[in-house]
Amino acid sequence: MTQPASHNQTLYQQIADELARQITEGIFQPGDKLPSIRKLSQQRSVSIATIQSAYEQLELQHLIESRPQSGFYVRQPVTPTYGGTLSEKSGISRMLSPFGSEAGQSCELPTPDQHTDLSLPTAVSIKQSASEVLRRCQQPELINLGTAIPSPDFLPVKQLQRIMGSLVRKRMDEVVVSVFPPGLEELRNQIAKRMAESGCHVAANEIVITNGCQEALTLCLRAVAQPGDVIAIESPAFVGLLQTIESLGMKALEIPTHPQKGISLEALQLALQQWPVKAVALVPTYNNPLGFTMPVEHRRKLLTLLKPLSIPVIEDDLFGDLDYSGNRTPAIKAYDEDGLVLYCSSVSKSIASGLRVGWVSGGRYQQHIEFLKSFSSVGTSTLSQMAVAEFMANGGYDRHLRRIQAAYARQVQLMGEAVSRWFPEGTTLTRPMGGYILWVGLPGKVDTFQLHHRALEQGIGIMPGKLFSARDHYQNFLRVNCAIIWDEQVDNAVRCLGELAQELLATEGEPGEEA
């Protein structure tokens, strides 16, 4: 059914959506050539740039392709071959399309087991296994469904190339000079403007530029805690956070976390009564790995709970810009009136992880964080800071976000549907409305670390669930990266994973037991 265009949509988005519907409805068939950019701009009485942006959007959605010296053509869709028992399953898990249309029976990840021992602080020891998995997943010959790094196809490579080329030609004398903390002023000004859009009213001098979000998290933990101290975290938790806690000699206190609402405030309150928690570290917006966004009321209640105890919140907002609807959820920092929220983010998931540009706004801990930054990595690449500042200032970042928000929604939909087709009956998966990762639960006692090793032999990389816990939970879960251009090879990789999981399930002898 044709949906009316949103009043919030840009002109190129409206044109892209209309063409996408025409492709879906068969008006344009696979292999058909689309009107040239110039011709369509004349037909629609719009600029050539508008049509270029619309076609770029359709390319990111994998609906059309550009052929050199020829034009744009409708792509052949991925048409999986349904064979054997996999195609005959009627109870297999499915997901709800991020666009709101039902792609099958809805499937929600069940609430993680709220083990009675989750309230025990634990020394983290995932360093060796996590590093090995991450290293193997990044081998160039692998289909990388493990590390949460987007394919270059989704990144603004050409725009960055132009910006950096211009900076090197015109401002090389600035590029070669280190910028000491708190970082490049023009970048901090741009970040302050963007933070205001998420409800955070901070000045540029309240922001410190870091080497990615990982360094921001490290600085925050060092600012609020010492080795041996207890940090309350979500369960499952972001692998990078667990690695940082381990590297600093701190202890993780895993709190049961709902797959739609986030950390259990009741369990957190009980834990605070039992243990000397120094900080609460969260990924509240498009959580990694669960994908949920904590409701606003939940965010307010969290601060109400922690304020009397003066316990700080370390907020990782790395995926905050990747909302499929384009409506950014206010950060926890937006409701902070006491300087207790240390806000961290970066451009690693939106622009490019290789730039290593992140930032932190540390509230009452700001000066200490700036001091720690000065004596850890000194500064962040000047060229990277200048390039990000320019990309944000000239409007390129906002245009890029609109494109990848729609593209990632499509990728998550395609991956979820593939998991539904190929994975064993009883599989569960999350339904994020932003970001590009899925948390998949396998039935029975399937060990996804075994699945990881078997998948490597088939040229596929995945992230086993046990890496997301300090207490060896989630052994039958895995995290899947969806920011990879969808094609038959990727679909076959998901099919292979499903078959390997089915073999492991049969070995366990417990087919049909829910994860």
Copy the structure tokens of residue 114: 């709220």
CB 344 within 8 A of CB 194: no
Examine the domain organization and report whether 288 and 340 are in the same domain.
yes
| 362 shares a domain with 480 | no
Whether 5 maps to a domain, the answer reads no
Q: How far is residue 452's CA from residue 317's CA, in Å, rounded to a whole number? A: 28
Backbone angles phi, psi at 277, to 5 degrees: -70, 130
CATH number of domain containing 39: 1.10.10.10
Do residues 438 and 345 both lie within one domain? no
Burial class (CB in 10 A: 0-12, 13-18, 19+), 475: middle
Distances in whole angstroms, Cα of residue 306 to Cα of each of 264, 277, 278, 292: 13, 10, 11, 22
Residue 80 lies in a domain: no
Q: Which helix (H) or strand (E) holds 262?
A: strand 262-263
Within this chain, do residues 250 and 264 fall inside the same structural domain, yes or no? Answer: yes
Choosing from 345, 378, 397, the residue where a domain stops is 397
Neighbours of 288 (CB within 10 A): 25
Residue of 225, 273, 257, 248 lying closest to 469 (CA atoms) = 257
Q: Are residues 39 and 163 in the same domain?
A: no
Domain match, 384 and 361 both: yes
Task: Specify the CATH number for the domain of residue 411.
Answer: 3.90.1150.10
pLDDT tens digits for 235-276? 999 999 999 999 999 999 999 998 888 999 999 999 999 999
Number of structural domains (the chain) is: 3
Same domain, yes or no: 284 and 379: yes
Q: Would residue 279 count as lying in a domain?
A: yes
**pLDDT digit of tens for each residue in the chain (515 aa)?**
334 444 456 788 789 888 888 887 778 888 889 999 988 988 888 988 889 888 887 877 778 888 877 889 888 765 433 333 323 332 223 333 333 333 333 344 343 344 434 558 989 988 889 889 988 888 888 999 999 999 999 999 999 999 999 999 999 999 999 999 999 999 999 999 999 988 999 999 999 999 999 999 999 999 999 999 999 999 999 999 999 999 999 999 999 998 888 999 999 999 999 999 999 999 999 999 999 999 999 999 999 999 999 999 999 999 999 999 888 889 999 999 999 999 999 999 999 999 999 999 999 999 999 999 998 888 899 999 999 999 999 999 999 999 999 899 999 999 999 999 999 988 999 889 899 999 999 998 899 999 999 999 999 999 999 999 998 899 999 999 999 999 999 999 999 999 999 999 998 754 444 33
Tell which residue, 506, 498, 465, 417, has the closest CA to residue 113: 465
User: And the tokens for 461?
Assistant: 């990389």
Backbone angles phi, psi at 55, to 5 degrees: -65, -35
The CATH number covering residue 325 comes to 3.40.640.10
Does residue 478 lie in a domain region?
Answer: yes
Q: Kindly state whether residues 48 and 100 are assigned to the same domain.
A: no
445 contacts 510 by C-beta, under 8 angstroms: yes
438 falls within a domain: yes
Residue 225 sits in the same domain as residue 289? yes
Spatial distance between the Cα atoms of 156 and 121, rounded to a whole number of angstroms: 42
Instruction: Show which of 397, 432, 464 is a domain's final residue.
Output: 397
**Which residues lie closer than 8 Å to 238 by C-beta, 6 or more apart?**
283, 288, 289, 316, 468
Residues 134, 172 within the same domain? no
Please state, in angstroms and rounded to a whole number, the distance separating the CA atoms of residues 202 and 217.
19
Q: Which of 401, 388, 394 is nearest to 198 (CA)?
A: 401
pTM flag (> 0.85): no
Triad 382, 201, 175: Cα angle to 5°: 10
Structural domain including 25 reads: 11-74
121 with 165, same domain: the answer is no
**Which two structure tokens, joined as six digits, stand for 42?**
């004349």
Is the residue at 6 inside a domain? no
Q: Using CA atoms, how far apart are residues 132 and 164, in angstroms rounded to an integer?
A: 33
515 falls within a domain: no
Both 311 and 456 in one domain: the answer is no
Evaluate whether residue 3 is within a structural domain.
no
Q: What is the pLDDT of residues 290-319, one digit of tens each?
A: 999 999 999 999 999 999 999 999 999 999
